[in-house]
Amino acid sequence: MKRLLILIPFIFQIQGCYDANATSPPPPPQPVEYEIMHESQYNEYADSTSKSVIVIRNQTDYENELLKRTSESIKAVNFEKETILLIDMGTRNTGGYSIAIPSVTVENDHVRAQVLLGLPGNNCVTTEALTNPFKLIKLNTTNEILVTEEITVSSC
């Protein structure tokens, strides 16, 4: 009987180490399929656009934003299953600027798009022309989109 009394407090301590309500760690981010539909270093119409990130969820907005930048043909998008993300660096006074999309992932109930905005370094030789880098990216999701931007400076 004495042995049993010694073990009972020990059993309760071991049981307290396991929390029945503990949540498992969140799953790792899963990649989202995407396609770069339109991209250019220049605005075809020489109109100025401002630096912007726009989530496009319908055909009319897609056509309007595309027509502000280029005469490229509209591409097929199923807005019931897909979303377009527009990344526009706005008008720049030289060349050497770039946009890269290293990852697009699902995190919980939203999508995170990582965007790298490339700037020319001080030692870079660039064109002396107005540029307007932009990308229209079709994402295979309709979830809310969170864009994280990071600036990288080229060392040339």
110-131 pLDDT, tens digit per residue, is 999 999 999 999 888 888 888 9
How far is Cα 120 from Cα 28, in angstroms, rounded to an integer? 34
Beta bridge partners of 105: 31, 112
Q: What is the mean pLDDT of residues 89-111?
A: 94
Is the pLDDT reported for residue 55 higher than 90?
A: yes
Is residue 4 assigned to a domain?
A: no
Is the pLDDT reported for residue 35 higher than 70?
A: yes
Work out how many domains the chain is built from and give that number.
1
How far is Cα 15 from Cα 108, in angstroms, rounded to an integer? 31
Cβ–Cβ under 8 Å, residues 76 and 134? no
Beta bridge partners of 19: none
Is residue 12 assigned to a domain?
A: no
Sign of torsion over alpha carbons 35, 130, 128, 72: positive
Domain, as residue range, for 90: 25-153
How far is Cα 110 from Cα 130, in angstroms, rounded to an integer? 35
Is residue 3 assigned to a domain?
A: no
Is residue 33 assigned to a domain?
A: yes
- Tell me which residue has tokens 């498992």: 24
Is residue 37 assigned to a domain?
A: yes
What tokens does 10 get?
């020990």
Is residue 101 assigned to a domain?
A: yes
Is residue 1 assigned to a domain?
A: no
Is residue 9 assigned to a domain?
A: no
Kindly state the helix (H) or strand (E) to which residue 64 belongs, with its residue range.
helix 59-67
pTM value surpassing 0.85: no
How far is Cα 150 from Cα 155, in angstroms, rounded to an integer? 16
Beta bridge partners of 26: none
- Amino acid 148 reads T
pLDDT at 47: 74
